[in-house]
Amino acid sequence: AIEMDVYIGHLAQVASHSRSSIEWSEKELRNFWLEVPKYFRSSSVFVSSYAIALDHLGRGEEAQKLLLKRLKSQWHPVLIESLGKLNHPLSEGNQILLEEFLVRFPDDQNLLLALGRVCARLQKFVQACDHLEKALQLGSNPEVLLQLSEAKAEMGDHAASAKFLRRGLAIASKNITV
């Protein structure tokens, strides 16, 4: 477990090199991936961290393929969450593939949040709001509320945007322990 945490920590530093002294090239990242023991490369958490690092280095399409391939064989919330957070926009085909997962997992808040993020990045704000509102029906979540606030703002509905933002901040502030 400690070894896994160390490897994931290295990937996290790559993905946020602006806050770290580590800055890897794409080649260095690939070499790191190949040097990691194979059993770690089968971990959803590790694959997710690697995909985020790939995306950070401008290899978002490759990161998407990796995450989608893994999701087809093994469903894991961290994979869906990472897919939704990639900077690289999902292609129409990949968006449809992601939406097909809703048939199997219609009440998965992480999936609905990821779809909301993906649709928003594709400037499909009505679809984004639909997915995010369904996610919100499953339970109040500050991330869902923030994304919904941003989508509403992009659509010009500033009153709804402010309402969702205030609600998200209220929930988030209750979750903070001092």
Residues 65-114 pLDDT 10s: 999 999 988 899 999 999 999 988 887 788 888 888 999 999 999 999 99
| Cα–Cα distance, 74 to 80 (Å, whole number) | 11
| Cα–Cα distance, 35 to 50 (Å, whole number) | 13
Average pLDDT over every residue of 139-145: 92
pLDDT of amino acid 174:
84
Q: What value does the CA radius of gyration of the chain take, rounded to a whole number of Å? A: 17
159 contact partners, CB below 8 Å, separation of at least 6: none
Output 52 or 22, whichever has higher pLDDT: 52
pTM value is 0.82
Average pLDDT over every residue of 140-167: 94
Average pLDDT over every residue of 132-144: 94
| Cα–Cα distance, 147 to 150 (Å, whole number) | 5
Residue 107 DSSP class: T
pLDDT of amino acid 21:
43
